[in-house]
Amino acid sequence: MNEFNRRDILSVVLSSSLAAVLPATARAAAADPGKLIFGGPEPFSFDRLKSQAAEMAGEPWQDGRSPHTGILEKIDYDRFQAIRFKKSHALWTDGRGGAPVQFFHLGRYFQEPVRIHVVENGQAREILYRRSYFDLPEGHPAQELPDNIGFSGFRLQEPSQETDWVAFLGASYFRACGPLSQYGLSARGLAIDTALPKPEEFPRFSRIWLERKEGEADRVLVYALLDSPSITGAYRFDCVKGETQVMDIECSLYPRKAIERLGVAPLTSMYWYSETNRMQAVDWRPEIHDSDGLAIWRGNGERIWRPLNNPRTTMTNAFLDEHPKGFGLLQRDRNFTHYQDDGVFYNRRPSVWVEPKGDWGEGEVQLVEIPTDDEIHDNIVVYWVPGDPVVPGQPLDFSYRLHWTAEEPYPAELGRVVATYTGIGGIPGQPRPKDSMRFVVDFRGGKLGTLARGDAKPVIDLSRGEVSLADSYPVVGQPGLYRAFFDTTIEGSDPINMRMFIQGEDGNALTETWLYQYLPSLAGDQRGT
């Protein structure tokens, strides 16, 4: 899934304040060191961008890497960090609206230049690269680069000029820091052929246009041209920073060729271990993850929570649906003591919810889990796969809203899963059955806080094996906490798919549905096998 070790790069680049800002208009500036340099005006609209993408789809794909590869290779991790965008050259600080914008330099890990433009009154002007925009250490390889080579991306900053809230950097990756002011998981324009027995394709945003609205300091329109060997696309992002950060996204896609697996609205995250897979907790911190589960709101109204796994081999799970209401990778656990991380603050990582607009029809939410032994790797991907085949000459249109939030934007009036535990089965003090495992799920919310013992029961389904010792009850001394558990005997090494919810006396579900894929191969030590 990783085209490079991007988490390691971005964790530094996006956590530091590299620049501040300066007024810039959409007219060419001369050699004034306090202004950006712009190219000539060209008409621009989203319809024009769609036409451009459609036309490109009929042409052969062209490699977008910079011809200055030899120089860029010298700008390694350390030298990339040493580059600082000058405060005096940022965009949009004249008080007319828009967020201050800073730009990222090219380097070893970002060798495909992005042409970035400013739109004003229907006219677009390219922001021309100049070395003078950046503070470069003496003898830095970037001093060998010519003018107008492009940038690797950009970021929208707070008016304070100390932090930022949106960044586009690398391929079609982008992310926002959320209301808790901490970057975490990323989104992408598209995912193509992820977790198939062939190389994954990483489409990129090759051109970007930025537009502001007069008087709106917390809103920026971003337009992007997507390009890859298999597809082109036109994207419009309406980025708004409020109590939560919201992006309304429209995209028109134009396949160049048939695509086996097209992932729409992909999210990319990291999950190493949590309370669920304690046997993998080799670091001193109790939990390490950007997200702890996948939430799905199905078209039929069912709410699903699927805790994440860190498998030994890449696993792909599909959740069939029709007219989905939403899905997302969430960080539900916000308790600092569960992480003890005082550096990157996993308890503050944003959750991201995908809210489809219009009818997405039939398809499936796919979850890809990739093994990792460290927190520097993005190993979780989720996206929507349309049910119809993707073939050349048949454009696709999608609209959706991304919520970068601390809590789910549309919580159900049901109990929700707050923790999943696994351990040996049986009764303490008695002989434990061989290969018996216990699964404990904690719920909160909805009507659960009003239940007495015996008012509800767990409904459990397993793809294989039998259930024993199942029960559910309110936890004494923990108001609102409701616990369910069951035992089952584990035989063989094949995954076991599990499903459970809490059912009231009237037969209605009182909780969301807990889905879990148990991987016996990961738990040999825990089971004593």
pLDDT value of position 98: 86
What would the pLDDT profile of 341-375 be if each residue is shown by its tens digit?
999 999 999 999 999 999 999 999 999 999 999 99
pLDDT value of position 32: 39
Measure the CA–CA gap between 415 and 132, rounded to whole angstroms.
Answer: 56
How large is the average pLDDT for residues 61-71?
91
**Which secondary-structure segment (H or E) carries 30?**
none
Measure the CA–CA gap between 85 and 102, rounded to whole angstroms.
Answer: 7
Q: What is the DSSP string of 169-190?
A: ESTTEEEE-TTTT----EEESE
Measure the CA–CA gap between 162 and 286, rounded to whole angstroms.
Answer: 31
Q: Residue 396 in contact with residue 190, Cβ under 8 Å? A: no
For residue 452, give both structure tokens. Answer: 């007495």
Q: Which region among 135-139, 191-195, 212-216, 280-284 has the lowest average model confidence (pLDDT)?
A: 212-216
In this model, does residue 30 exceed pLDDT 70? no
3-state secondary structure of 194: coil
pLDDT value of position 95: 79
For residue 253, give both structure tokens. Answer: 């896609």
Confidence bin at 41 (pLDDT 50/70/90): very high
Q: How far apart are the first and last CA of the chain?
A: 32
List the chain domain ranges: 6-405, 416-527
What are the Cα distances from residue 495, in Å, to 12, 155, 313? 37, 42, 12
pLDDT value of position 13: 57
Please state whether beta strands 186-188 and 262-269 pair in parallel, antiparallel, or not at all (unpaired). antiparallel
In this model, does residue 31 exceed pLDDT 90? no
* Superfamily for domain range 416-527: Immunoglobulins (2.60.40.10)
How large is the average pLDDT for residues 29-47?
78
In this model, does residue 21 exceed pLDDT 80? no
What average pLDDT does the structure give for the chain? 91
Q: Match domain 6-405 to its CATH number in 3.65.10.10, 3.40.50.300, 3.40.50.720, 2.70.98.10.
A: 2.70.98.10
How large is the average pLDDT for residues 287-293?
96
Nearest Cα neighbor of 154 from 97, 104, 112 is 104
How large is the average pLDDT for residues 219-246?
96
